[in-house]
Amino acid sequence: MKKLVFRIPATALLAAGLIAICVTPVAWVAPGLQALYVLPLGYAYWVVRNRTTVTEESLVARGLFGSTEVKWDELKSIRLVQKGWLKAVKSDDTEVTLPAVRLMHLPALSLVSGGRVPDPTVKEEAAADEVAEEAAEEVVESEK
């Protein structure tokens, strides 16, 4: 069974450590300010928790407080977002954000989904092949 997991890179956890270091001088100024350490812990939890799992049967978008499963037959389309995560549009027009899945991941998504999600790079390659074949045919005809 094919399975693909899209995650936020683990290097993002370095930012949580940096935030903790930056908060430390302020956190010890007065009693109770140690609660500021919740910020880097919350961010680290967000990084570890958010992911999208794609299998041959469904998409599972796991967010901060829950997860949503979208079966392939419930999927109407994938909404492309230029600077952000892609969104799965269900048949009832509700959208599910797919954490960590970007436009560049469409070929991998197409492969795991068994072609249910179209791969835009294949169409470009096929069109380029057709143009090359037509050019070759014109060259052959002009030589005759």
Report pLDDT digits (tens) over 126-140: 555 565 566 555 555
Which pair of structure tokens corresponds to residue 140? 């052959």
Could you tell me which residues come within 8 angstroms of residue 23 by beta carbon, excluding any fewer than 6 positions away? 36, 37, 39, 40
| Percentage above 90 pLDDT, the chain | 59
CB contact at 8 A, 46 and 62: no
Q: Which pLDDT belongs to residue 124?
A: 57
Could you tell me which residues come within 8 angstroms of residue 78 by beta carbon, excluding any fewer than 6 positions away? 86, 87, 88, 89, 98, 106, 109, 117
Report angle CA 101, 86, 2 to the nearest 5 degrees: 45
pLDDT over 90 at 61, yes or no: yes
What's the predicted TM-score (pTM) here? 0.74
Report pLDDT digits (tens) over 70-103: 999 999 999 988 788 999 999 999 999 999 999 8
Q: How far apart are CA 106 and CA 118, in angstroms?
A: 8
Report CA torsion sign: 102, 54, 61, 93. Answer: positive
* pLDDT band at residue 113 using 50, 70 and 90 as cut-offs: confident
- List of domains in the chain: 3-117 (2.30.29.30)
